[in-house]
Amino acid sequence: MPPTLVLVGHGMVGQRFLEELAERGVTATHRVVVLCEEPRPAYDRVQLTSYFAGRTPDELSLTDPEFLTRHGIELRVDDPVEHVDRRARTVTARSGFTVAYDTLVLATGSYPFVPPVPGRDTPGCFVYRTIEDVLAIEEYATKHATTGAVVGGGLLGLEAAGALQGLGLTTHIVEFAPRLMPAQVDEGGGAALLRTLTGRGLSVHTGVGTQEIVASDEGTVAAMRLSDGSELATEMVVFSAGVRPRDQLARDCGLPVGERGGITVDGQCRTGDPAVYAIGECAQAADGRVYGLVAPGYEMARTAADAIASGTGQAFTGADLSTKLKLLGVDVASFGDAHGAADGCLDVVYSDSRSGTYKKLVVGAGGELLGGVLVGDAESYGTLRALTGQVPPVPAEQLVLPAGAGESKALGPEALPGDAVICTCHNVTKAAIQACATLPEVRKCTKAGTGCGSCVKLVGQLLPDSGDRGLCGCFPHTRAELYEIVRVRRVTSYARLLDTHGREGARGGEGCETCKPAVGSIIASLAPAIGVDGYVLDGEQAALQDTNDHFLANLQKNGSYSVVPRVPGGEITPEKLIVIGEVARDFGLYTKITGGQRIDMFGARVEQLPLIWARLVDAGFESGHAYGKALRTVKSCVGWTWCRYGVQDSVRMAIDLELRYRGLRAPHKLKSAVSGCARECAEARSKDFGVIATSGGWNLYVGGNGGATPRHGDLLAQDLDDAELVRLIDRFLMFYIRTADRLERTSTWLERIDGGVEHVRDVVVHDSLGLGAELEALMAEHVTHYRDEWAATLDDPERLARFVSFVNAPGAPDPTVAFVPEREQIKPDLPLLAIGSRRAADLEGTSA
C-alpha cells in the first residue's frame, strides 16, 4: 500500500499545494485524500466580489476535475474534519468517514472575526468570506434591504462595500481605526482613498466602533448603534472586521498554537508533530506571523511540498506582503516598508486631492527604496516593488511626480536588475521571465501572472515584441475584434468578456485602465442591440467609465465641474437663453460661448449639478455630452434661411443630425458641421464628418480634424439628397465605431485603415462587404432607444445619491473648490504651493 497523505481544507492554498505535489511526483507515489468543509471545490476567493459583476460560482472555480482524476486525488466536499487522532494517525470527518494518514497537512484557512456586540446574530447580519455568504447577502439584499452597512474598512471590508453598492444599496462603511485600510496605507493614503470613495457615493465612518445591532419590531436589523452615541439606520450588516486562524483542530489534538492563534510551524511548515504540516492562514510561521494573503500561502504550499517530496527545500522565513488591488474602482497598492518603520528613513510624497492621487515612497538613509504607498495611480507599482531594497537609478522625487510635471521620470522594465522579483506570488525574477519568448510560455514555465495578476502588465513589457496587436495585457484581441465578440455573442458585462475572451492570466482579474473604458464604450454603443440598458452609471458600467462620466460633467482643474447643455445646430430661443443666464447667475457660474456654438457654464460643485440640471431639463435642455466619448456638436451657419449665398437649409440639417446622433458612444469624441454653401462658414471639412451644401444636394466629407494635428476631411460622396446623406452617415459612423482602435479619432483611423478613404467609400457607399443594412440597423437601434442621461438621473434617487462632495454632510461645499473674480466673472483660485524651492505652478499637487 502506498503511503497516504491527507489534506484538510481545499481553498486556494490547498489547491496550490496539490499542484505542487503533482509537479514533484508525490501524487504518483502517495494516496492523496482531500477533505473539504465547503460544498464546492477550491475557488478564487480573491475575486469573490466579481460574482456581483456577472461571474458565476463555476467561473470562480480553481479546480479542474481532470487534474484530480489524472493524479488520482480523492476529494470529498461538504464533509469537514471533526477529529484528528495523532496517536492512531487517523482523521474523522462529520459523515463518519475515517482515513489513516502517514502525512497530514492542515490548510484550514481562517474564519471571519465578528465583534462580540449585542445583536450580532440578528437576521440581516452576515459575514463576507465564502460563495455561500455572497449568495445569502444577495438574496437578503434583493428581498429585504435598501441600505447596508459594512463593519470594517480593510481590504475585505471595501470589497464587501463594493458588493453592497453593486446590489444597489445605499452603503455605509464603519471602521474603528482613524482611516481606511489601516494595515496597508498611511494617513495620507487613507485620506485620498476616503475622498475618492465618498465621491462615489459611499458613506464612510472612521474612528468609531459598533456598540450594538438594533432590531426592528419584526426582529430583523434596523440600525447600528455606534461608539460615538450616534445611530445608523440600516437594514443589513456585513461583518468584515478581519479574520482569525482556524486552528481549533490543532488545539483539540494537542498541537502547539501561537499566543494569538495560528498553528506554530518551523521553516519547513512542520508542526510540533513531524507527521503534520500546516500551511496558509491557519499557520503561524517561524517568524511569529500569521500571513493573511494568498501569496505567502502559496509559498508555504511550495515549501511543504518540497519537504514532503524530498525532506529538504528552501525554508519559509517570511513573505512579501505587497498588495495591489482595485477597490471600488480605485487603484490601491502598498509594498515593502510602507509605513516607514526603519530607522532613519525619509518619505517622498506626492499628493493631489483633486484627482484623488497619493504616492509615498519610503527611502533609506543610503537612498535605497524601502517601500511605498500608491492610491489612485498605481501604474508604477510593478517596477517600484521590484526595485525595493535597491537605490533607484533616478532620485525618488522624480518617481512620484505625474508625467510631464517638472523632472518626472517613469522607469521602464529595463531599469530592473535580472534578480528583481517580478511575480511575488511565485517568486519569479526578471531573468527567468526573459528566458521565455511568449506570455503563455512564461505562465507554463514559471507560473508568473497566474496568481493575483498584478504582474501581468510588467511581464508583458519584459518579453520581446511578438507582434501582439491585443488591446492591452488583458485581451489578445484588438478593439475591433472585441466589438465583434460583444455584438455577435451579445456579451453584456465586462467581467464576462474578460473571463471568456481575456488572456489566460487576466481571466478572473479586475482588468486595467486601458480596456475597461474601451469595453464600457463598446457595450454602451451596442446597448440596444445586445439587450442592455445603455445608461452609463448603472451596475458594472459605472466602474468602467472615465472620470468625467462618473458625474456626467467635465472635471475642471480646481475640482469644480462644467455644465454644457445641448444646443442643436447652435439654434436657441430667447427664452432658453434667459434660462441659461438665470442658472449661471443664480449658481455663480462662469459662462463662455464656445466654438461649437454652445454656452458652457463652469464652476459648479458636484452637489450643485443635480440642482442645475433640474432647472435646465425643466426648460427643455438635455445633456450636451461634453464629458463623453460621444457626439459633441453639429455646428452650422445660418444657411439659405438668412444668408443670400446659402443654397440649402443648413440649420435644419445640423439640428436633425445632432438629434439623431446625440449620445452615440464612440472610440473618441465626434464633431460635425453643416455649411449652407461652398463658402464653408461652419468649417465642415475640419470635422469628423462634415456636410457642405451644393445646388444639387449635399457633399459629405469624413475624417477631418481641427485638433492638435489638423486634417481636412476627404470627400466621401456628393450631391446627396437628405435621405441618402443620413443613410451614408449612419453607415460611416457605425463602421468607424466597429473598426477603430481605442481613443482613435476618425482622422487617424482613416489614415490607418487599409485602403484609406477608398476602402471606406467601397464599404459605406457601395456596400462592398454587404454590411450596409446591418450598420443602418445598429444606428436605428441607437436612435430608437436614446434617452437623455441627465433626465434619467434626476428621475432616480439612487443615481442622485452619488452627487455629493461629502457623504457624511450632504450639501456641504468642498472647501478646496474656490474662485476669485476676473472680468466680472469667476476663475479658479489656484494658490501656489511651495515644494522645496520649486513653485507649485510647475506641478499639480504636492511633493516633498
User: Residue 839: pLDDT above 80?
Assistant: no
C-alpha cell at 567: 444646443
Confidence of residue 832 (pLDDT cuts 50, 70, 90): very low
Q: Are residues 151 and 238 in contact, defined by beta-carbon separation less than 8 angstroms? A: yes
User: Do 592 and 678 sit in the same domain of this protein?
Assistant: yes
Q: How many helices (H) and strands (E) does the chain have?
A: 27, 39
Distance between start and end Cα atoms, the chain: 67
Q: Tell me: do 79 and 141 sit in the same domain.
A: no
**102-116, 338-352, 786-800: which has the highest mean pLDDT?**
102-116
Q: How far, CA to CA in Å, does 778 sit from each of 533, 716, 744, 762?
A: 15, 21, 21, 19
Would you say residue 376 lies in a domain?
A: no
The set of cell numbers assigned to 689 is: 464628418
412 falls in which pLDDT band (50, 70, 90)? low
Check residues 428 and 135 and name the one with the higher pLDDT: 135
SS3 label, residue 10: coil
The answer to whether 253 is a known ligand-binding residue is no
Q: Note whether 697 and 653 are within 8 A (CB).
A: no
Cell numbers placing 301: 504550499
End residue of a domain, out of 785, 820, 842 = 785
Q: What is the pLDDT of residue 552?
A: 86
Within a domain: 585: yes
Would 411 be classed as within a structural domain? no
Assess whether 644 and 756 both reside in one domain: yes
Residue with more model confidence, 14 or 330? 14
State how far the alpha carbon of 713 is from the alpha carbons of 740, 742, 753, 833, in Å: 17, 21, 15, 45
DSSP conformation letters of 359-392:
EEEEE-TTS-EEEEEEES--TTHHHHHHTTTS--
Are 698 and 748 in the same domain?
yes
> What is this structure's pTM?
0.57
Calpha distance 215→121 (Å, rounded): 10
Last residue of a domain, one of 730, 762, 785: 785
The reply to whether 425 sits in an annotated binding site is: no
Residues 6+ apart with CB under 8 A from 675: 636, 637, 650, 681, 682, 683, 684, 690, 691, 692, 693
For 585-613, what is each residue's pLDDT tens digit? 999 999 999 888 999 999 998 889 999 99
Listing from the earlier edge strand, what are the strands of the sheet with 210-215? 210-215, 221-226, 231-233
Q: What is the CATH number of the domain that holds 731?
A: 3.30.413.10
Average pLDDT over residues 804-822: 73
Would strands 231-233 and 243-245 be described as parallel, antiparallel, or unpaired? unpaired
Taking residues 729-743, what's their average pLDDT? 93
CA-nearest of 56, 194, 219, 199 to 125 is: 219
On whether 637 is known to bind a ligand per the annotation, the reply is yes
Q: Is residue 252 part of a domain?
A: yes
Q: Which pLDDT does position 495 carry in this prediction?
A: 85
Q: What angle do CA 59, 424, 32 make, to 5 degrees?
A: 55
Q: Is residue 389 part of a domain?
A: no
Highest mean pLDDT among 461-465, 474-478, 764-768: 764-768
Q: Which CATH number covers residue 432?
A: 1.10.10.1100
Say if residue 234 is in the same domain as residue 92: no
Looking at the structure, tell me whether residues 237 and 250 fall in a common domain: no
Q: CA-CA distance, 812 to 636, in Å (whole number)?
A: 41
- Give pLDDT, residue 775: 94
Question: Residue 132: pLDDT above 50?
Answer: yes
Least confident of 199-213, 286-300, 378-392, 714-728: 378-392
Give Dmax (Cα) for the chain.
106
The answer to whether 430 and 397 are in contact (CB under 8 A) is no
Confidence band for 408, pLDDT divided at 50, 70 and 90: very low
Percent of the chain at pLDDT exceeding 70: 90
Residues 68-92: what's their mean pLDDT? 95
509 pLDDT band (50/70/90 cuts)? Answer: confident
The closest of 177, 116, 187, 185 to 152, measured between CA atoms, is 177
Give the type of residue at 820.
V
319-340 mean pLDDT: 76
Mean pLDDT, all residues of the chain: 86
- Residue 318, pLDDT above cutoff 90: no
Side chain identity at residue 244, one-letter code: R
Distance of CA 432 to the CA centre of its chain: 29
| Mean pLDDT computed over 796-804 | 82
Q: Are 173 and 203 in contact (CB under 8 A)?
A: yes
Q: Are residues 162 and 277 in the same domain?
A: no
Identify the pLDDT of residue 686: 93
- Give the Cα separation of 814 and 826 in Å (integer): 17
Please state whether 535 falls in left (phi above 0), alpha (psi between -120 and 50) or beta: beta
Q: List the domain range (segments joined by +) for residue 524.
A: 479-540
Cβ-based burial of 759 (10 A; exposed 0-12, middle 13-18, buried ≥19): middle
pLDDT at residue number 631: 93
Q: What is the pLDDT of residue 382?
A: 78
Reported as a pLDDT band with limits 50, 70 and 90, residue 53 is low
pLDDT > 90: percent of the chain: 48
Answer yes or no: do 707 and 724 share one domain.
yes
- Helix ranges (DSSP H) in 4-64: 12-23, 26-29
Same domain, 205 and 250: no
Question: Are residues 35 and 81 in contact, defined by beta-carbon separation less than 8 angstroms?
Answer: yes
Q: How confident is the model at residue 846 (pLDDT cuts 50, 70, 90)?
A: very low
Q: Which residues, listed in sequence order, are joined to residue 81 by a DSSP beta bridge?
A: 93
Q: Which of 142, 163, 156, 78 is nearest to 114 (CA)?
A: 156
660 pLDDT higher than 70: yes
User: What is the spatial distance between Cα 402 and Cα 266, in angstroms, rounded to a whole number?
Assistant: 45
Give the pLDDT of residue 810: 64
* Amino acid 836: pLDDT: 32
Same domain, 584 and 646: yes
Both 613 and 761 in one domain: the answer is yes
**Following CA atoms 321, 356, 329, 449 in sequence, which dihedral angle do they give, to the nearest 10 degrees?**
-40
Cell of 736: 468607424
Together in a domain, 634 and 605: yes
Q: Which of 140-149, 498-507, 663-672, 674-683 has the lowest mean pLDDT?
A: 498-507
DSSP H/E element including 335: strand 330-336
pLDDT tens digits for 200-258? Answer: 788 999 999 999 999 999 999 999 999 999 999 999 999 998 889 999 999 999 999 99
Considering only CA atoms, which of 609, 45, 53, 629 is closest in space to residue 328?
53
The pLDDT value given to residue 280: 94
Average pLDDT over every residue of 62-85? 93
For residue 96, give the amino acid letter.
G
Mean pLDDT, range 7-13, rounded to an integer: 96
Amino acid identity of 179? R
The answer to whether residue 742 is domain-embedded is: yes
β-partners of residue 600 are 592
DSSP string, 123-155: TTEEE-SSHHHHHHHHHHHHHH-SEEEEE--SH
Query: How many Å separate Cα 510 from the centre of its chain?
Result: 6
Which three cell numbers mark 816?
478646496
Number of domains comprising the chain: 5
Pick the last residue of a domain from 517, 540, 563. Answer: 540
816 within domain boundaries:
no
Q: Is residue 56 part of a domain?
A: yes
Q: Is 677 annotated as a binding residue?
A: yes
Q: What is the CATH number of the domain that holds 278?
A: 3.50.50.60
The three three-digit cell numbers of residue 618, written as one number = 425643466
